[in-house]
Amino acid sequence: MELLFSPLFSGSGGNAVYVGCEESGILIDAGVSCARVVNELEKIGVSPTSLKALLITHEHSDHIAGAGILSRKFDLPIYATEGTWRGMEEKVGQIQPKNMRLVDPRIDFFVDGMNIMPFPIPHDAMEPCGYSISLGGIKASVATDLGCIRDGWMNAVEGSDILLLESNYDPDMLKAGKYPYSLKTRILGRKGHLSNDDAGAACVKLVGKNVKNIILGHLSKENNFPELAMETASLALREAGVEIGRDMTLSIARRDGFSGLYSLKDGFQELSKGVRGV
């Protein structure tokens, strides 16, 4: 068994993550244009016709911008909670009824042998959720757009072989930056986004929950730098006695293109660009 994982885009400008096995693939969010998603998929050797599901975390445009066109072009079923469907129905355009699938955030389901477990997340959207995908004892999770650290989502991603975790902003950059007061308050709130410091604290707890490989993502373009996010989390881990590289791995997802194709099977390895299923 092999599970492939590749963040294609990750940031406030748009999000999409590919998770796949030998036969088929799943996309989590499509927050950039259909053409850009297809372009990145081709770089990792994945045909968009092999996709079997598009899972949506919530209705904000950086998660759904390309969803409607992807569904219409590739006859792709979209999975979302009832609240998310309500929030995005008008934005994604006409979707064939057979491709409108309802997710109950407390009930897992299967797509081509891959077990999908949705879990609620604290975020200012109608009914947002993250997803864990498991295949043959391998588990990959996406937890971004999180207002705060909570036992619920932390427990849901427990034991993940790989996790895409939000590290959205540096608090000092946000406070000193040009965002209006209302937007700053929203981001800082308990239903906003995780700061670099929050992400660092979460990393420490998650290593204790047997999460082995963490990719920091959904970085703000205006209020963060990859180096800063990496350094903040690394420091928190080191202070907690975690040795990066030995006890776990830590990396950063790119905003504007795919960030490696991670192969999860007997142990963790990152494949080189464009190589699939070797």
Note the residues at the interface with Zn ion (CB under 5 A): 60, 62, 145
CA–CA gap between residue 207 and residue 215 (Å, rounded): 13
- With beta carbons less than 8 A apart as the criterion, state whether 64 and 91 touch: yes
CB of 164 to Zn ion, least distance (A): 12
Of 218, 219, 205, the closest CA to residue 248 belongs to 205
CB of 12 to Zn ion, least distance (A): 6
127 backbone dihedrals φ, ψ, rounded to 5°: -155, 70
Based on CB atoms, which residue is closest to Zn ion, 47 or 185?
A: 185
Based on CB atoms, which residue is closest to Zn ion, 57 or 263?
A: 57
Based on CB atoms, which residue is closest to Zn ion, 118 or 161?
A: 118
- With beta carbons less than 8 A apart as the criterion, state whether 14 and 62 touch: yes
Give the residue nearest to Zn ion (CB).
60
- With beta carbons less than 8 A apart as the criterion, state whether 23 and 51 touch: no
Based on CB atoms, which residue is closest to Zn ion, 40 or 62?
A: 62
CB of 221 to Zn ion, least distance (A): 12
Based on CB atoms, which residue is closest to Zn ion, 62 or 161?
A: 62
Of 78, 118, 74, 113, the closest CA to residue 98 belongs to 78
CB of 168 to Zn ion, least distance (A): 8
Could you tell me which residues come within 8 angstroms of residue 181 by beta carbon, excluding any fewer than 6 positions away? none
CA–CA gap between residue 111 and residue 53 (Å, rounded): 7
CB of 114 to Zn ion, least distance (A): 23
Based on CB atoms, which residue is closest to Zn ion, 221 or 273?
A: 221
CB of 239 to Zn ion, least distance (A): 29
Of 20, 36, 86, 25, the closest CA to residue 255 belongs to 36
Q: Please classify residue 62 by burial: count the beta carbons closer than 10 Å to its beta carbon, then call 0-12 exposed, 13-18 middle and 19+ buried.
A: buried
- Amino acid present at 155: N
Based on CB atoms, which residue is closest to Zn ion, 29 or 161?
A: 29
CB of 125 to Zn ion, least distance (A): 6
CA–CA gap between residue 61 and residue 8 (Å, rounded): 16
